[in-house]
Amino acid sequence: MDKPESCPLCANVLEGEIVRTAQFVIVQANEPLFPGFTRVVWRDHVAEMTQLSDRSRHDLMQAVFDVERIMRHVLAPNKVNLASLGNQVPHLHWHVVARWHDDAAFPASVWSPAAITTASSQRVRTTLALLNDYHDALRQHFQTNHDDQ
Amino acid sequence: MDKPESCPLCANVLEGEIVRTAQFVIVQANEPLFPGFTRVVWRDHVAEMTQLSDRSRHDLMQAVFDVERIMRHVLAPNKVNLASLGNQVPHLHWHVVARWHDDAAFPASVWSPAAITTASSQRVRTTLALLNDYHDALRQHFQTNHDDQ
Confidence of residue B49 (pLDDT cuts 50, 70, 90): very high
pLDDT tens for each residue of A47-78: 999 999 999 999 999 999 999 999 999 999 99
pLDDT attached to residue A149: 46
pLDDT attached to residue B55: 98
Architecture of the domain made up of A8-140: 2-Layer Sandwich (3.30)
pLDDT of A2 over the 70 cut: no
Residue ranges per structural domain of chain A: 8-140
pLDDT attached to residue A118: 74
pLDDT of A31 over the 80 cut: yes
Beta bridge partners of A99: A79
pLDDT attached to residue B149: 45
Determine the residue of chain B that is closest to A67 in CA distance.
B50
pLDDT attached to residue A115: 67
pLDDT attached to residue A146: 58
Residue B146: name the closest of B19, B14, B15, B58 by CA.
B19
Q: Write out residues 101-120 of B within 8 Å (CB-CB) of A.
A: 106-109, 111-113
Q: Whole-number mean pLDDT of chain B?
A: 92
Phi and psi at residue B24, in whole multiples of 5°?
Answer: -150, 165
How many Cβ contacts (< 8 angstroms) between chains A and B?
89
Disruptive mutation site among A50, A51, A55, A88 for chain B (greatest number of B CBs within 10 Å) = A50
Of B50, B83, B87, the CB nearest to A65: B50
pTM for the complete prediction?
A: 0.93
Cα angle for residues B120, B61, A85 (degrees, 5° grid): 35
Task: Tell me whether residues B109 and A109 touch, CB distance under 8 A.
Answer: yes
CA trace torsion B112, B114, B119, B125 (10° rounding): 90
Confidence of residue B1 (pLDDT cuts 50, 70, 90): low
Confidence of residue B113 (pLDDT cuts 50, 70, 90): confident
pLDDT of B22 over the 60 cut: yes
- How far CA B35 is from CA of A38, A62, A134, B40, B66, in Å, comes to 30, 30, 39, 15, 18
Residue B82: name the closest of B67, B97, B99 by CA.
B97
pLDDT attached to residue A112: 85
Tell the CATH superfamily of the B8-146 domain. HIT-like (3.30.428.10)
pLDDT of A1 over the 60 cut: no
pLDDT attached to residue B128: 95
pLDDT tens for each residue of A106-143: 999 999 876 677 778 899 999 999 999 999 999 999 98
Cα angle for residues A11, A15, A16 (degrees, 5° grid): 135
Minimal Cα–Cα distance from B38 to chain A, Å? 15
pLDDT attached to residue B115: 67
